[in-house]
Structure 1
Amino acid sequence: MTANDYDSFGAAYSAENDANLINAHYERPAMLDLLGDVRGRRVLDAGCGSGPLAAALRDRGAVVTGFDASPLMVSLARERLGADADVQVADLATPLPFADGGFDDVTASLVLHYLRDWAAPLAELRRVLRPGGRLVLSVNHPFLYKALHPQADYFATVQWTDDHVFDGQPAVLEYWHRPLHAMTDAFSEAGFRIGVVSEPPWSPDTPAELLPPGFEGRTAFISFLFFVLVAS
């Protein structure tokens, strides 16, 4: 089974993403909360997947452009957003087909942790943002890797894999762990100022049946880390 092959399991991932705890009631509400009022803002959804965040942003009045490296995910996004939606196949690991300073905001929802090198992708995202524009992103919390691999070196930048089941379909995801200081160094080197670092709770409207056993009385858990970066 090939890791990160969204063209093979993207439909199952999308179905799971639309309603599950980790995406629908935790990660996506947190991203929307950090973005705030987006009415009239030009937003680039980098790694848009099947388009749930893009749809939510458009519903809130943003002018949304999206891209993803997976043709299947782009096709699913067009089904969700409409055939005339501005969504295309593009790879964050290569130069992007967008003009300098063309966006007020960029979102990168659970994208960067798939990449070993952050320098070139962050430089591209900085390039397409206007000065003062925001990059709002989420990544695997760096503590997560250490929690799952207690003997590992937290301070190393290292690749790891995790087995998943999306809507009944098995899948393998391959990530790059890096310590927190490596993340913040990469942001600064790309010309961003850190505005917010967030470890949010899950959404208060989360159905109780979605919470794992033992989560009663809790409001948060360690899964992802969120940043709002400002383009200098």
Structure 2
Amino acid sequence: MSAPTSEPRSDTADAYDTIAEAYSAENESSLLNAYYNRPAIRDLLGDVTGRHVLDAGCGSGPILLDLVAGGATVVGIDGSQGMIDIARRRLGPATDLRVADLADPLPFDDAVFDDVVCSLALHYLEDWQPPLQEMRRVLKPGGRLVLSVEHPLVNWFSARERGEKTNYFSTRPRHEKNWIDQSVDITFWDRSLSTMCQSFLDAGFRIARVEEPGPAPEAVELFPEFFADREDPRFLAFLFFVLEA
């Protein structure tokens, strides 16, 4: 079993401790999380009855709730103690929830999970290889890593609109000083699609699916202004992958 390192807590973990309650509440009703990311992850996972699933970067536990409802046995890790505390309130004391940084070795034996979910968490890391290799290590042969990431084109176009001379092909930091209307300091790492895919392959995965899905059907009625004058309800925000070990 790999032991966690004694590295200091990341600035990201500290920031999410600060905004944990507000961020969790936002996720419950927001278009991007509740009606786009979360249903897409559910769809890609399919039937999880009897499967042993790790949610790597579980936050306050919304995807864990979906997994439990679907009949899975779950484990959740997150770098933020504040997020884990909320997840524990929601899922109860019997659920295995741990504070762990994705930049560190995962505190699990080899080949113990049928699936790993990593939802909107890798973008906080500059180097994807160690966490991807760790996720590959803890998956059983034939297991799946189901993940979502920020769409690289959206980040690049947004930077250009802000007047930034951004090289799409570089791996580059992006700093957020205000998140969920609170003052924080969070660093995201943007990279190209080809860089992402090569990272998956280098870690020993096979890319089984790549998706740019539409939102949940009810989203069009719940957010009419956003979808006004759209012939197609799909929009670019996140990319979704199913990787096979």
Match 2:49 to one of 16, 39, 60: 39
Match 1:132 to one of 122, 133, 142: 142
Q: Percent identity?
A: 49
1:201 maps to 2:214: yes
Query: Residue 130 of structure 2 aligns with which residue?
Result: 120
* Structure 2 letter corresponding to 1:22: L
Once residues 208 and 49 of structure 1 are traced to their aligned partners in structure 2, the CA distance between those partners, rounded to angstroms, is 27
CA RMSD of aligned residues (A): 1.6
Query: Residue 98 of structure 2 aligns with which residue?
Result: 88
Query: Residue 37 of structure 2 aligns with which residue?
Result: 27
Query: Residue 189 of structure 1 aligns with which residue?
Result: 202
Judging changes above 3 Å, is the alpha-carbon distance between structure 1 residues 3 and 78 closer, same or farther for their aligned structure 2 residues? Answer: closer
Query: Residue 236 of structure 2 aligns with which residue?
Result: 222
Judging changes above 3 Å, is the alpha-carbon distance between structure 1 residues 176 and 215 closer, same or farther for their aligned structure 2 residues? Answer: farther
Size of the aligned set, in residue pairs, is: 229
Once residues 213 and 22 of structure 1 are traced to their aligned partners in structure 2, the CA distance between those partners, rounded to angstroms, is 11
Local SS of the residue matching 2:29: coil
Judging changes above 3 Å, is the alpha-carbon distance between structure 1 residues 169 and 207 closer, same or farther for their aligned structure 2 residues? Answer: farther
* Structure 2 letter corresponding to 1:94: D
Map 1:98-113 → 2, pairs under 5 A = 98-113=108-123
| Unmatched segments (≥5 aa) in structure 2 | 1-10
Q: Deviations over 1:50-73 (max 9, x none)?
A: 000001110010111100011111
Tell me by how many angstroms 1:192 deviates.
0.1
1:66 maps to 2:76: yes
Local SS of the residue matching 2:219: coil
Tell me by how many angstroms 1:205 deviates.
1.6
Once residues 91 and 220 of structure 2 are traced to their aligned partners in structure 1, the CA distance between those partners, rounded to angstroms, is 26
Is 2:220–2:227's contact at 8 Å kept on the other side of the alignment? no
Tell me by how many angstroms 1:210 deviates.
2.6
Once residues 46 and 134 of structure 2 are traced to their aligned partners in structure 1, the CA distance between those partners, rounded to angstroms, is 24
Q: Deviations over 1:210-230 (max 9, x none)?
A: 354464433111111110000
Query: Residue 154 of structure 1 aligns with which residue?
Result: 168
Tell me by how many angstroms 1:144 deviates.
1.4
Local SS of the residue matching 1:61: coil
TM-score normalised by length of structure 2: 0.89
Once residues 221 and 186 of structure 2 are traced to their aligned partners in structure 1, the CA distance between those partners, rounded to angstroms, is 27
* Structure 1 letter corresponding to 2:80: S
